[in-house]
Structure 1
Amino acid sequence: MAEHMDPEEFRRAGHAAVDWIADYWATLGQRPVTSHDPPGALAAALPTGPTAQGEPVEALLADLDTLVAPRLTHWQHPSFFGYFPANISGPSVLGDLISSGLGVQGMLWATSPACTELETVVLDWLAGLLDLPQRFRSTGSGGGVIQDSASSATLVATLAALHRASGGRWRDTGIDRRYRAYTSSQGHSSIEKAARIAGLGLDGVRVIDVDPETLAMRPDALREAIRADLAAGDVPAIVVATIGTTSTTAIDPLPEIGAICAELGVWLHVDAAYAGAAAVCPELRWSHVGLEYADSYCFDPHKWLLTGFDCDAFWVADRGELIEALTVLPEYLHNAATETGAVIDYRDWQVPLGRRFRALKLWFVLRWYGVEGLRTHIRSGVALADRFADRVQADDRFALAAPHPFSLVCFRLAAGDEASAELLSRVNATGRVFLTHTRVAGRYTLRLAVGSPLTTQAHVDEAWELLSEAVEKLPASHE
């Protein structure tokens, strides 16, 4: 039987594992972006169970090489243009490694003071970096916390909004009236899921029309929907506005939406999961105008800010409302520090009780890159997307399908939906790039999202060349 790994054995194995990761990164550009193996290929290649005796790390790394890596979709590949980026970086990996090595449980300040305090400070740093409103800083009534994802942030915001809308009754008696949530037709699917989990049901979500040109929520349609619900005796609880929708990176008009929420007393949550990172650049902060109206706001450093999944930065303007909505304190968690009221217990800011030391990887990233390094990364992505969009616009076989304020370009073939779908299939089948699709105004649309720190002008140009070549080979019926 293998013994526990002692520090020296861990040191040796750790060096081997880091070398494996470094070699993986170094060879990413030579690998197909996606695997074309059929479903079940890896499962069939694995043994039916673990070995009776332990195995050396070398055997595990060898199987990573031969079994696992060839069957991955390589999200860090420089030609991965699908979905949104899921950035990773060396500093982030090192911070995560140390977090795992420390193995602390940060549910209470008392269970690991440094885990809590570093998170509070780093979220304040990040708020300053994005120039978020002062009301989100821990030095006032608000503050930030790291959630696992923007989906969890939306759920937590919904629960806090229900607490406010019900005058605190929701926490004690559950849903006793018809509460309503509002978002645009371009809002993320997690908004519907949050409403279901919170007990509102699908009927509790009001889907607001968007402007056909900008694809942003129409404030007049929002006001009309809220007034209609009030007239019916329903309770408007939360509006979820988006900065950078998943489909096209549309930007909802926060000044107008915020004014409506302030007038009618509705919680405003702003989901900037992908595009929030852009606000590190002063010239892109126009997208956040009106954020001062928000009761809560989130973005994912694990998308475009070089920090490994999972890491969603979530802020509230009034932490007291959030804590009142979510706090549960059994006897075994009572402690002197909590009872002073002078510390933050992040268990009250999220759905789970337990929490990892996620702030370490974000701290490492902020310190390694610095403000200017992060701005350079964001600007590079925007510039590469602009370069690709210029190619699309200059070719009459293609058409841009939506504005591209950040690093996502939505485009399609002038020949129509069938041709666009066939083009995507053919290009992705090469294994040299990976793109995804959406629908804009009902039409099949390709998406190219730039974000990997490994992506260069050459990779974007290759994507365009592959698309251009594939168009020429489409069947005549698609032309």
Structure 2
Amino acid sequence: MNKKDFRKHAHQLVDWMADYMENKGSYPVSPKVQPGDIYQQLPDNAPNLPESFEDIFQDFEKIILPGMTHWQHPAFFGYFPANNSEPSILAEMLMSTLGAQCMSWLTSPAATELEERVLEWLRDAKGLNVSWKGVIQDTASTATLCAILSARERASNFSINKGGFTGKEKYRVYSSSHVHSSVDKAMRIVGLGEENLVKVAVDKSFAMDPNALREAISTDLLSGFTPLCVVSALGTTSSTAIDPVKEIGEICDEFGLWHHIDAAYAGTALLLPECRWMMDDMVKADSYVFNPHKWMFTNFDCSVLYVKDVDQLVNTFSMTPEYLKTEQDEHVNNYRDWGVQLGRRFRALKLWFVIRSYGLEGIREKLRLHLFLSKKVANLVENHKNLEVLAPIPLNTICFRFVDKSLSQEQLNFLNAKWMQSVNATGKAFFTHTKLDGNYCIRWVIGQTDVSIKEIDRTWELLMEQLPELN
């Protein structure tokens, strides 16, 4: 493809993208395909000769598009959203065009300094401690891994990085029983082992019980273990339960443990002053992560990790061979030293575009709309004689199920799974599930960029249409 053809096809693609953004609600949210359907339509071998862009794009529309789940559909209510927005998409286009590798200040000074400033904006807008410093990671899984690795190295005085485990270490990490699976995976990667992740009991709201945490730490100390870190959740994945981070932070401070706060989804809500009850700048924490790519209209991937002590993070990850040394190293942030990856994308650009395009008040307006719509859904469920809400709703995730007191838990779980699957099969809405105290429930997460009352009303009608089919 030459430069002239590139210009022509780029204009065509932008027109297609604009049409998609206007009409994304007209697509089925999830595709009606079976495993292997897409694979079988693809050639057995790569082409030896160049193919035209027209043919490539025709196959995109014919083969790929019909097999996509449309995460940007306003009736996508599953998992947590990975929502985007027009300014974020435009920034992604510029990022790809520049093709910058932003591993150090010298490789792209503007990328480094924009990242530093934009993360200060967000820190202050969320009411976080002004001493915290931020860095953009790809996902919260990576950010949590960085936090636990830093906790390990702080506890070992950085000796494990140098000499490996001696075999005498007996480290423990603590989280609630509703912890995200990324913590289990991090325990594997950092060499501590899944068995040394202590799952602390939760209260009736599915939030970590501080008394149970204190008891677990005390028991481990008596048994010869070394408590290392607590991962608290500002919004668990199943139900967005809010762990009592203030009390947990005080316990960590008392025992000298690293406190990492996983606010991957719910952290965006801290932009709202009325949601600051979840956390304030007095909370004692060593690290905190939230994902703008979940509920802040910024394309995946973009996860922000804040740390109290940058030196702990940098000393854990810094590795500077001769070919990476620059004259500016002592005077700048080289973000390659703030995480696992050497290569880094210019993710700060899309954050900058989103914040400036919406303004903080524009972002808050959308968040408040989502919270309002969630209250409407909660009222609908609570006023239905055969439905129940299974968890508190601090934000915009409603966990609900069909209930019949004459049926067993096993029967109810089967019927609710059948109900959700029948709704999803229509392609008009998309839900995912969880289990709370063994009860299968549907999660209705209202955080899509363009979701409106229209999608809520239509989806409720769809749920009611499919409900009689359970009998």
Structure 2: how far apart are the matches of 1:367 and 1:175?
47
Residues 246 and 279 in structure 2, CA contact (< 8 A), matched pair in contact too: no
Partner of 1:55: 51
Residues 254 and 291 in structure 1, CA contact (< 8 A), matched pair in contact too: no
Residues 20 and 61 in structure 1, CA contact (< 8 A), matched pair in contact too: no
Taking the TM superposition and a 5 Å limit, the aligned residue runs for 1:227-246 are 227-246=218-237
Residues 128 and 280 in structure 2, CA contact (< 8 A), matched pair in contact too: no
Q: Which amino acid aligns with 1:315?
A: Y
Matching of residue 260 in structure 1 with residue 259 in structure 2: no
Residues 254 and 289 in structure 1, CA contact (< 8 A), matched pair in contact too: no
In structure 1, runs of 5+ residues without a counterpart are 137-142
Q: Which amino acid aligns with 2:196?
A: G
Structure 1: how far apart are the matches of 2:428 and 2:26?
9
Matching of residue 205 in structure 1 with residue 194 in structure 2: no
Structure 2: how far apart are the matches of 1:15 and 1:167?
55
State the superposition RMSD in angstroms.
1.3
Q: CA deviation at 1:365?
A: 0.4
Partner of 1:116: 112
Residues 417 and 443 in structure 1, CA contact (< 8 A), matched pair in contact too: yes
Partner SS for 2:243: coil
Distance 1:428 1:291, change over 3 A: farther
Partner of 1:66: 62
CA deviation map 1:442-463 (0-9, x unaligned) = 1111101111122111111111
Structure 1: how far apart are the matches of 2:231 and 2:280?
16
In structure 2, runs of 5+ residues without a counterpart are 405-411
Partner of 2:148: 158
Structure 1: how far apart are the matches of 2:89 and 2:164?
41
Q: CA deviation at 1:290?
A: 6.8
Q: Which amino acid aligns with 1:369?
A: Y
Partner SS for 1:292: coil
Structure 2: how far apart are the matches of 1:471 and 1:9?
53
Partner of 2:409: none
Partner of 1:324: 315
Structure 1: how far apart are the matches of 2:444 and 2:312?
40
Partner of 2:85: 89
Matching of residue 397 in structure 1 with residue 386 in structure 2: yes
Q: CA deviation at 1:170?
A: 2.2
Residues 129 and 281 in structure 2, CA contact (< 8 A), matched pair in contact too: no
Residues 127 and 281 in structure 2, CA contact (< 8 A), matched pair in contact too: no
1:414 pairs with one of 403, 406, 411: 403
Matching of residue 180 in structure 1 with residue 177 in structure 2: no
Partner of 1:140: none
Q: CA deviation at 1:54?
A: 2.1
Distance 1:131 1:289, change over 3 A: closer
Normalised by the size of structure 2, how large is the TM-score? 0.96
Q: Which amino acid aligns with 1:43?
A: Y
Partner SS for 1:445: strand
Residues 181 and 204 in structure 1, CA contact (< 8 A), matched pair in contact too: yes
Residues 258 and 290 in structure 1, CA contact (< 8 A), matched pair in contact too: no
Q: CA deviation at 1:291?
A: 5.9
2:138 pairs with one of 119, 142, 148: 148
Matching of residue 23 in structure 1 with residue 19 in structure 2: yes
Structure 2: how far apart are the matches of 1:26 and 1:64?
19
Partner of 2:371: 382
Partner SS for 2:463: helix
Q: Which amino acid aligns with 2:120?
A: D
Structure 1: how far apart are the matches of 2:138 and 2:2?
29
Q: CA deviation at 1:167?
A: 2.1
CA deviation map 1:29-56 (0-9, x unaligned) = 1111111211111111122233333233
Q: CA deviation at 1:381?
A: 1.0
Partner of 2:2: 5
Q: Which amino acid aligns with 2:214?
A: R
Q: CA deviation at 1:27?
A: 2.1
Residues 288 and 307 in structure 2, CA contact (< 8 A), matched pair in contact too: yes
Q: CA deviation at 1:402?
A: 0.5
Deviates more, 1:185-194 or 1:287-296: 287-296
Deviates more, 1:187-196 or 1:24-33: 24-33
Structure 1: how far apart are the matches of 2:221 and 2:88?
47
Partner of 2:212: 221
Residues 255 and 290 in structure 1, CA contact (< 8 A), matched pair in contact too: no
Matching of residue 278 in structure 1 with residue 269 in structure 2: yes
Partner SS for 2:241: coil
Partner SS for 2:131: helix
1:435 pairs with one of 426, 431, 436: 431
CA deviation map 1:341-400 (0-9, x unaligned) = 111111111111111111111111011000111001111111111111110000011000
